[in-house]
Structures are given as C-alpha cells and as structure tokens.
C-alpha cells in the first residue's frame, strides 16, 4: 500500500504516480490523505488500482476513470466521475452537481445525495444514489441506468434517450418526453442486481421506472411552429 499525503505532495504528484502505473504497475493499493477539497484528484487513471481518498474532494474527482476502483470517504464537488469509461467510484458522502456526467461505463455509487444535473448526458454508466438527486438530472441521458433511493428534483430525464431511471421516492416533475413506465420482470431483475452491487439494502419492487416516450427523436412537422 502506498500513501500520498496531499499536505506535502501536490495533486500533480498524485495523478502522475497513478498514471505511471499503466507503464509499470508497482502498487495496486493507494491511499490519499489530507485531500482538503482539492480539485482533480485521481483523474485519468487507467489501471486496475484501488484509490482510497480519506476526506472531502473537490471538482472532477475520479474523472475519466478507467478500470480503477476509487472511494472517497467524504463529499465530492462538481463533476465527480465525469466521463468515466469503466471501473468503480464510491462516494461515502454527498456529491455536488453533474455527478457522472457523460460517463460511458463503470459504476458510480453515491451514498448521500447528489446535486443538480446528476447523470447529465450519461452514455452507459450505472449510477446508484442512496439519497436524493437535484433538478435536471439525467438530462439527455443516452444509455445506462440511474437509480435513486430517495427523491428526484425538477425536470427529471428531460429530452431522455435510452437511459433507464429508477426512483424509489417522489419525483418533483418529469422533463420533456420522460414518462413513468411499467416495471417488468427484467427491470426488477436488473435493478435488484444494481442495488445489491451498490450494497444498499433496498427492494427493487419499491421503485418506479421512468424512461423516454421517444417523441423527440425525430423532427415532427406538426411541431414546426415551435421553432
């Protein structure tokens, strides 16, 4: 196990050391101490290492992650795990805005709440939130699954493509072209797998499913006056 103390080392030292593991894997377990809300921690990691961040992290933590398993023992700022490709990111506290934005793959688990625009334009990632999410979440979500054990804010799933959204609590309002959908056996099954993987003691049957009505996919001449 290798410990990097950010009260003496820089964020550049940390990220460079993690990037170097791609060429020569020297250490699989990394611990980061005294993060004190620094931005860009463990960004662009591209190796199957585990990184334990012991405190709060700032913006873009674990951004562009591939393969790595990254745990934050605290809160994260804007854009946590943005554009993640694969791997696993777990936030023990809450996340600010745009968590998991544009991410293509992997699993993002947020034990607390996530702010506005969680999963905006997500492209295949799975996001499981233990608490509630803010407004405009999953805007233009294209693929993947977003699971919310608490409530969802305004305009959930606006202009949604094929992301499947599961919410246990209330939804303040649905965005354009997002509708409640029937929970079929395959949905119960995939949701239960996700909840179990996230380690949340929840039952899939308590959730509702939301998805795209697929009315905004193509231009409709009847809507011409709106442009």
Partner 1 sequence: MCGIVGLYLKNPALESQLGALFEPMLEAMTDRGPDSAGFAIYGDEVSDGWVKLTLQATTDEYDFKALTGELEGKLGASLDWFQNASAIVLKIKAEEATVRAALAELAPTVRIMSAGKSIEILKGMGLPKEISERFGLKNMKGSHIIGHTRMATESAVTMEGSHPFSTGADLCLVHNGSLSNHFRLRQELRREGINFDTENDTEVAAGYLAWRLQQGDSLKTALDSSLEALDGFFTFAIGTRNGFAVIRDPIACKPAILAETDDYVAMASEYQALSSLPGIEKAKVWEPVPATMYIWERASA
Residue ranges in contact with partner 1 by CB under 8 A: 36-39, 55-56, 58-59, 75, 77-78, 93-94, 96-97, 115-116, 134-135
Return d(Cα 165, Cα 178) in angstroms, integer: 10
Q: How far is the CB of 96 from partner 1 (least distance, A)?
A: 6
Nearest distance, CB of residue 71 and partner 1, angstroms: 17
**How many angstroms separate the CA atoms of 208 and 187, rounded?**
10
Rounded least distance, CB 218 to partner 1, Å = 29
Q: How far is the CB of 137 from partner 1 (least distance, A)?
A: 12
Number of H helices, E strands in the chain: 2, 11
Residue 223 CB, shortest distance to partner 1, in Å, is 25
Distance from C-alpha of 179 to C-alpha of 199, rounded to nearest angstrom: 28
Alpha-carbon gap, residue 28 to 189, rounded angstroms: 33
Between 151 and 177, name the residue whose CB sits nearer to partner 1. Answer: 151
Q: Which is nearer to partner 1, 93 or 150 (CB)?
A: 93
Strand partners for 3:
31
* Between 135 and 168, CB nearer to partner 1: 135
Residue whose structure tokens are 């029937």: 182
Question: DSSP 3-state assignment of 15?
Answer: helix
Which residue, 54 or 86, has its beta carbon nearer to partner 1?
Answer: 54
Residues contacting residue 220 through CB under 8 Å, at least 6 positions apart:
none
Q: Which is nearer to partner 1, 149 or 194 (CB)?
A: 149
């Amino acid at each position: 196990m290798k410990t990097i103390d950010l009260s003496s080392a820089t964020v550049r030292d940390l990220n460079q050391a993690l990037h170097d593991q791609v060429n020569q894997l020297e250490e699989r377990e990394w611990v980061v101490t005294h993060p004190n809300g620094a931005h860009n921690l463990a960004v662009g990691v591209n190796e199957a290492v585990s990184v334990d961040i012991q405190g709060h992290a700032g913006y873009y933590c674990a951004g562009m992650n591939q393969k790595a398993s990254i745990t934050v023992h605290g809160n994260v700022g804007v854009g946590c795990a943005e554009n993640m490709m694969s791997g696993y990111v777990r936030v023990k506290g809450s996340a600010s805005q745009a968590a998991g934005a544009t991410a293509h793959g992997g699993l993002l688990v947020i034990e607390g709440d996530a702010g506005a625009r969680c999963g905006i334009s997500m492209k295949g990632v799975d996001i499981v939130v233990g608490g509630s999410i803010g407004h405009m979440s999953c805007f233009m979500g294209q693929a993947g699954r977003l699971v919310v054990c608490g409530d969802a804010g305004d305009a959930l799933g606006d202009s949604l493509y094929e992301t499947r959204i599961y919410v246990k609590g209330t939804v303040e309002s649905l965005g354009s072209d997002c509708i409640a959908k029937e929970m079929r056996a395959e949905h119960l099954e995939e949701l239960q797998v996700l909840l179990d993987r996230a380690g949340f003691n929840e039952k899939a049957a308590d959730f509702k499913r939301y998805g795209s009505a697929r009315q905004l996919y193509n231009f409709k001449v009847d809507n011409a006056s709106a442009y």
